[in-house]
Amino acid sequence: MVNEMTPSKVCVLGAGSWGTALSVLLASKGIKVNLWARREEHATQLNSTRENAKYLPGIKLSKNIACTHKLSEALSGCEVILFVVPSHGLREVTKKVSKIIENGQEPLPLAIVSAVKGIEQDTLFTMIDVFQQELPAELSGKLAVLSGPSFAEEVAQKVPTAVTVASTKASVATMLQSLFATHYFRVYTSSDVVGVQLGGAIKNVMAIAVGISDGLGFGTNTRAALITRGLAELTRLAVRMGANPLTLAGLAGLGDLVLTCTGDLSRNRHVGLELGKGKKLPQILSEMNMVAEGVKTTKAVWQLAQKYEVEMPITEHVYAVLYRDLDPKDAVKHLLIRPPRPEVDFL
């Protein structure tokens, strides 16, 4: 049930699997949800069939969810705006939202939330960085990020899940904690916006690496090594960019890393698996319904590693496989013959 302190209407921008799952979660609490789909035909299909057959089949949309392709309609009367679009489309949608808000068509929302796990290409901005640049200055203290180990399908099926919501303003984080929390969806708060975002983005790179290893037929020893050293890389870069290392040992770091590297529902692990089996990247992506954020994120993380002078060998080799046509078998060989070094030396 919604209490008097919880927002009663939320706009969810993005009708993929995760946007739909979060809409279903909120609607189950009696919250009104405006779910925005980029394509008109998709919004029409959602409204008529009450099911997102392409991205989240088998889950019914309740009467509390209204679907539209018109951004102004989606924002109408909403107290919280939740972005669940691919990272490469975030800036364009944010600009349009900002224009509507600046024109006074809607009052300032209580919070703007990113549930996008990626890094913007070219600028190397996090999603909150994009918000800071494109949204009205009055909203700078109302920005937040939702992340953690959470496959959309399992959340929609009410499988017990725990995530983190981060904001620099404690009252915003606490309000969003109440908004999203259910008996099966536990929400923790954090003030480490940088760490929560980077954990959610970089783990996708490591999932491709683990997928490649699994696709090549290596065992669980190899998988465990890649996850552990992947966490070291992730933490090394995140700390250099201002994150708290403890965040990366939590749900938004280690938790999401383990899920994405081992779960059969992981799109990024799937990309790696197919690469390890010998398929080429264009074919793999053409056969997928949904976006694997790790493909674009790998390039951005590799560039961040150069910018901050952080050693990230797993990222470097995944980048070479994706963008320089390095044979996956050679990537593993190169990783194994690197000079020996101490294990704990990243801080």
Q: Assess if residue 196 is contained within a domain.
A: no
> Hey, what are 114's tokens?
């990113």
Decide the pairing of beta strands 161-166 and 143-147. Answer: antiparallel
Residues 269 and 124 in one domain: no
How many domains does the chain divide into? Answer: 2
Residues 206 and 150 in one domain: no
Residues 183 and 322 in one domain: no
Among 191, 211, 226, the domain-final residue is: 191
Residues 229 and 287 in one domain: yes
Residues 172 and 241 in one domain: no
Residues 181 and 251 in one domain: no
pLDDT at 342: 87
How far apart, in Å, do the first and last CA atoms of the chain sit? Answer: 45
Per-residue pLDDT of the chain (347 residues; tens, 9 = 90+): 444 468 999 999 999 999 999 999 999 999 999 999 999 999 999 999 999 999 999 999 999 999 999 999 999 999 999 999 999 999 999 999 999 999 876 789 999 999 999 999 999 999 999 999 999 999 999 999 999 999 999 999 999 999 999 999 999 999 999 999 999 999 999 999 999 999 999 999 999 999 999 999 999 999 999 999 999 999 999 999 999 999 999 999 999 999 999 999 999 999 999 999 999 999 999 999 888 899 999 999 999 999 999 999 999 999 999 999 999 999 988 888 888 888 886 54
Q: Assess if residue 343 is contained within a domain.
A: no
pLDDT at 289: 82
Q: Assess if residue 258 is contained within a domain.
A: yes
> Hey, what are 320's tokens?
């070479």
Per the structure, the complete domain to which residue 220 belongs is given by: 201-336
Q: Assess if residue 158 is contained within a domain.
A: yes
Q: In degrees rounded to 5, what are phi and psi of residue 158?
A: 65, 35
Which CATH number is 80's domain given?
3.40.50.720
Which CATH number is 232's domain given?
1.10.1040.10
Residues 214 and 169 in one domain: no
Q: Is 96 a catalytic residue?
A: no
Q: What is the dihedral of CA 283, 286, 289, 293, to 10 degrees?
A: 80
Residues 233 and 145 in one domain: no
Q: In degrees rounded to 5, what are phi and psi of residue 253?
A: -110, -90
pLDDT at 3: 47
**Cα–Cα distance, 223 to 261 (Å, whole number):** 8
Q: Assess if residue 16 is contained within a domain.
A: yes
Q: Assess if residue 307 is contained within a domain.
A: yes
Residue from 203, 279, 296, 333 carrying the catalytic annotation? 203
Residues 262 and 290 in one domain: yes
Which residues in 154-167 are b (16+ Cβ under 10 Å) and which e? bbbeeeebebbbbb
In 143-219, alpha helices (H):
152-156, 170-180, 193-215
pTM, entire model: 0.95
Residues 48 and 166 in one domain: yes
Residues 179 and 218 in one domain: no
